[in-house]
Amino acid sequence: MRQRPQFVFCHTRGRMTHFDLILKNGRCVLPWGVETADVGVRDGKIAAIGDLRTSEAAETIDCAHLHVMPGLTDPHVHLRDPGDPAVETMETGTRAAVLGGITAVFDMPNTAPSITSKAQLDWKRGYAAEHSWCDIGFYVGAGKSNIPDLAALELEPNVCAVKVFAGSSTGDLLVEDDASLEAVMRSGRRRIAYHSEDEYRLQERKPLYAAGGPHRLHAEWRDVECAFLGTRRLMALARKTGRPAHILHVSTEEELGYLRDFRDVASVEVLLNHLTQYGPEAYDRLGGYAVMNPPIRDKRHMEAAWRAIADGTVDTIGSDHAPHSREAKERPWPATAAGLTGVQTLVPMMLDHVSAGRLSLSRLADLLAAGPARIYGSVGKGRLAAGYDADFTLVDMGAVRTIEESWIASPCGWTPFAGHVCHGWPVATVVRGKAVMREDTVLGAPAGRPVPFAETHRV
């Protein structure tokens, strides 16, 4: 018999309290540990955690066999809107998110066109109000031509960060030279998110691979030194300017070791893909469906990423959800489009890693809820605690389920994890007190809101 905690925090004493929603009797992944409790929701916020047997609610969800996690954020998605609706839209990408147990996403700016101006950001914020199933934050892209605008752009509401592509990838965003990178860093003060690969080394090495060959050459072209050199350059500039940096998708053992000495200026993201797949096996099995930037590397790097999860080097995990058409993924390398879908499979796959004993549910909540809130400064998110947004990911750790492409909501229709058997599955997604997904069914209409961030939040 599990012990139920006796404490209860309610606004009304001595009378029957009423909630909009009660999550009953779940194993709650609280910031201070995992406890069996009820969670009461009122007006979209967590109003009580404890024993609510004597309380009433308009809706009750029986969580007796479930874990109640704080709403999980995917801080790294490319929703491709505006772009090619046959591949992805904001509506389909956020539908995928809530089907996969994600309550908020932070969306990258390398759309077509890229989001680099206030006018484009305004458009996207307005558009999101009608097209997003989950809450959503926005990156603004840095380019050499908009450096003078970045100070104002980073202080626009709902901007999670300025994103810098210091090495080229999909789209036209690129700031590769030290003088421009330093100017970007000196433009403002919030933490900047970087795609860290050294552009000069990428371009130097490109002709060596012009003749093409097997997909595994992707990791030789964009080699360990491309990423490591990119990160060393960024760290030198971050220290020089004092500007905080978030290094996205850190993919090498070398960078993970190095970044431990830069915790004063640097935070660290790793990707599910780099924790799960390794070369040459992934390239031989998946061909173009293993190609991404920075590349999937050999097992040594995957093992280092797990050690960095265990010792706290890693602050957040992202999916780097980056859909492309099947046609673009099946082009012979090096013409293969780089990027893998992932927002819908991030939570199931991470739960499977939990079941395999690679991390705890508490650490997962730290990486996908508290971590993004701490690094980007989102307000009211990332913590299963009274007064915070009533965002929850309900998880059945006893479920055993195979990832199937027929389940994928993104119109491109593929996942590199097809056929993977997951032990643990997200069975419901609750955003600000409203269930938006239960048992594979998306409920209601898109009602996601832009995420507020502390630096720009007006009360």
338 makes contact with ligand DOR (CB under 6 A): yes
**CB 428 to ligand DOR: min, Å:** 30
Contact 390, 449 (CB under 8 A): no
* Phi, psi of 193, deg, nearest 5: -100, 130
| Strand 266-271 to 316-318 pairing | parallel
Choose which of 73, 120, 169, 319 interacts with ligand DOR (CB under 6 A): 169
Pick 343 or 394: Cβ nearer ligand DOR: 343
222 makes contact with ligand DOR (CB under 6 A): no
Contact 221, 209 (CB under 8 A): yes
274 makes contact with ligand DOR (CB under 6 A): no
410 makes contact with ligand DOR (CB under 6 A): no
Pick 290 or 427: Cβ nearer ligand DOR: 290
Choose which of 55, 89, 92, 293 interacts with ligand DOR (CB under 6 A): 293
Pick 169 or 415: Cβ nearer ligand DOR: 169
Measured from the Cβ of residue 447, the count of other Cβ atoms closer than 10 Å reads 16
CA distance 203 to 431: 44
110 makes contact with ligand DOR (CB under 6 A): yes
95 makes contact with ligand DOR (CB under 6 A): no
266 makes contact with ligand DOR (CB under 6 A): no
Contact 139, 159 (CB under 8 A): yes
Give the per-residue contact string, 181-210, with ligand DOR (x = CB under 6 A; - = no). Answer: --------------x---------------
Q: Which residue do the tokens 């919030």 mark?
A: 190
Q: And the tokens for 450?
A: 């832009």
Choose which of 322, 359, 375, 442 interacts with ligand DOR (CB under 6 A): 322
292 makes contact with ligand DOR (CB under 6 A): yes
Phi-psi region of 320 (alpha: psi -120 to 50; beta: other; left: phi over 0): left
**CB 320 to ligand DOR: min, Å:** 6
- Asked if the peptide bond before residue 75 counts as cis, ω within 30 degrees of 0, the response is no
Contact 110, 170 (CB under 8 A): yes
78 makes contact with ligand DOR (CB under 6 A): yes
339 makes contact with ligand DOR (CB under 6 A): yes
Pick 305 or 430: Cβ nearer ligand DOR: 305
345 makes contact with ligand DOR (CB under 6 A): no
**CB 171 to ligand DOR: min, Å:** 6
Give the per-residue contact string, 20-49, with ligand DOR (x = CB under 6 A; - = no). Answer: ------------------------------
CA distance 128 to 436: 16
Pick 101 or 339: Cβ nearer ligand DOR: 339
E runs forming strands in 153-254: 159-165, 192-195, 245-247
Indicate the length of the chain as a whole number.
459
246 makes contact with ligand DOR (CB under 6 A): no
Q: Which residue do the tokens 């093992």 mark?
A: 303
CA distance 128 to 115: 14
Contact 134, 344 (CB under 8 A): no
**CB 110 to ligand DOR: min, Å:** 5
**CB 331 to ligand DOR: min, Å:** 14
CA distance 398 to 331: 40
Pick 174 or 238: Cβ nearer ligand DOR: 174
**CB 410 to ligand DOR: min, Å:** 13
Pick 67 or 301: Cβ nearer ligand DOR: 301
CA distance 255 to 260: 9
How many residues lie near ligand DOR (CB under 6 A)?
10
For every residue of 234-255, DSSP letters joined together read HHHHHHHHT--EEE-S---HHH
Pick 68 or 173: Cβ nearer ligand DOR: 173
| Strand 56-62 to 45-50 pairing | unpaired
- Asked if the peptide bond before residue 334 counts as cis, ω within 30 degrees of 0, the response is yes
Pick 170 or 345: Cβ nearer ligand DOR: 170
Q: And the tokens for 326?
A: 């099947």
Binding site for ligand DOR (CB under 6 A): 78, 110, 169-170, 195, 292-293, 322, 338-339
